[in-house]
Amino acid sequence: MNASLSTNPSTTALRLSQNIKLYKFHGGVHPPFHKKDSNQKPIEFAGIPERLIVPIHQHIGKTAELVVSVGDKVKKGQLIAEKSDFISAAIHAPTSGKISFIGEHSIPHPSGLTEICAVIDTDGKDDWGDYKLTPIEDPANADYSELLDRIEQAGIVGLGGAVFPTAVKLAGASQQNKNKIKTLIINGAECEPYITCDDRLMQDRSADIVKGIQVIQTLIKPENCQIAIEDNKPEAIAAMRAATADFSDIEVIAIPTIYPSGGEKQLIEILTGKEVRSGGLPIELGLMCSNVGTTYSIYKAIYLGEPLLSRIITVTGNGIQHPQNFEVLIGTPFSHLAQQAGGYTKMAENLIMGGPMMGFAIPDDDVPVIKATNCALFISATSLRESNPAFSNQPTLPCIRCGKCMEVCPVKLLPQQLYWHIRAKDFEKAEDHSLRDCIDCGCCSYVCPSHIPLVDYFRFGKSEIREQKVALEKADLSRQRHEFLLYRKERDKRERDEKRAAHKAALQEKKAAAKPNGANGEQSSSPKADAIKAAMERAKAKKQARTESEQSDAKTKETSSKTNTKANTEEAQ
């Protein structure tokens, strides 16, 4: 099927056949793709290394929780770290052996940081024991929750780079009744230079991928399915068309070769002409995307009962003898991959995880393969610069405001403005210029004549913004805790006051019950009260008698005194 430009030069649509209309996204570049370097041989198993280094955090979301200890013997497929939150994913032992170490180890990451890893000294037996899951023989008629639970148990995440837990994604898609999924898009574009793992997977295991597609269709029930593949992969297109020949609701579409057509939003725009809004999700347009590697992993979990223990990886570049694709156990050191590909050459000056556009340098070949690894690129400095001038050792020159970065940006950003704001550490303005929409594709760095590492600035800016948000969240949490402490103290004081008031009222009621009742002076019927009253009356009578006696004595004395005075007066006269 040959692509031809529309007769109207002003239109952005491309037609690959009479019934398929494709569109162009803004920008994009055409770097040297080097696909034939590694896609000429079928996929081979990379073997079992002497040890596997399995990071516990290999997904977006909360880190999984370890369920094994140093010294434990594990079987292939055994759970070594369980899902710890809604957005999290399980980690399994890729083969049998013994846990020899649990602790910090270097992992493939742009920061070069370490993560908690479980090191397995392999025994070479690849023994499943009792840990292989029971295959689901008829997925089309299986219960919805059974299929979703199996995908979750298998620890499957997006293998196209996002590593988002697949079960969570599928559950969200199936629950969005107001945004019913109309089209399932299987992403086989694989636009990054050098990488051919998806290409080779579609050639060698196309029927299995289709079975994985059917499982997804059973879960989310889309109206149709489109498999998008760049037209520089004719063998993969032919294989997938042969595998889907009997399925009227699955269509294989060849799309033009341009980088980064494999980006989720860019692929959606190519196929539908619609743009996913900033901060939005494809589900809002009734669409859902799945990478072919993820789809194949779903097939293995459902039909074979296998968790995500391995993935297809491209081992390529002029730094190794025999570039090709391998099925590699998670946790395999990169040095083992180089050995399987014939060993290093004199050109092995750089090790990149991923491709030259979006990949990042790895300083040590002892770091392990993780679920997000799709390529190990062993390459000379010269070839790396030719593939992406951003890796040039030339000095960075001042920005000349040429605007080329803006022209090639696939998400219509203003890289030049972002660069100035981030350089000034004005992250608020960088956010206002939609920095979060940057997909780190590297197109801007690729065309920059001043050799400015724009993507490095953007990654730094996003990292700083995330750290600031985390700091704000912690401060807000601290404030909430302090406010709750004050509230609790006030609440406790109020409760104490209420208890005191209630106690005082109870005492007053008790005293009132002990006093005479009624306004007519009737006495209480209580014997104790009568005795008290009688005693009080006797005391009162005694006091009154004593008072009257004292008054009588005083009156007698007064009369006597007056009589004596009168007598004395008369006598004197």
Residue spans of beta strands (DSSP E) within 363-467: 375-379
For residue 558, the model assigns a pLDDT of: 67
CATH of 133-305, one of 3.40.50.2300, 3.40.50.720, 3.40.50.300, 3.40.50.11540: 3.40.50.11540
Chain mean pLDDT for the chain: 89
For residue 176, the model assigns a pLDDT of: 52
- Please report, for the chain, the start and end positions of each structural domain, with discontinuous segments joined by +: 133-305
Residue 222, burial from CB neighbour count under 10 angstroms (0-12, 13-18, 19+): buried
The two tokens of residue 177 are: 């009744």
For residue 569, the model assigns a pLDDT of: 58
The two tokens of residue 448 are: 């920059």
For residue 305, the model assigns a pLDDT of: 96
Helix axes 144-153, 206-220, angle to 10 degrees: 130
For residue 535, the model assigns a pLDDT of: 79
For residue 390, the model assigns a pLDDT of: 80
pLDDT in tens, 185-233: 999 999 999 999 999 999 999 999 999 999 999 999 999 999 999 999 9
The two tokens of residue 150 are: 């199996």
CB 282 within 8 Å of CB 276: yes
For residue 550, the model assigns a pLDDT of: 75
pLDDT in tens, 162-191: 899 999 999 988 765 456 899 999 999 999
User: Angle at CA 356, nearest 5°, toward 354 and 360?
Assistant: 55
Determine the Cα–Cα distance for residues 106 and 333; give it in Å rounded to an integer: 11
pLDDT in tens, 410-430: 999 999 999 999 999 999 999
Residues near 397 by Cβ (< 8 Å), separated by ≥ 6?
A: 449, 450, 451, 452
The two tokens of residue 521 are: 């002076």
Nearest CA among 383, 547, 360, 550 for reference residue 456:
360
Residue 234: φ, ψ to 5° = -60, -35
Residues of the chain with pLDDT under 70: 1-19, 175-179, 515-528, 558-573
Helix axes 292-299, 197-204, angle to 10 degrees: 40
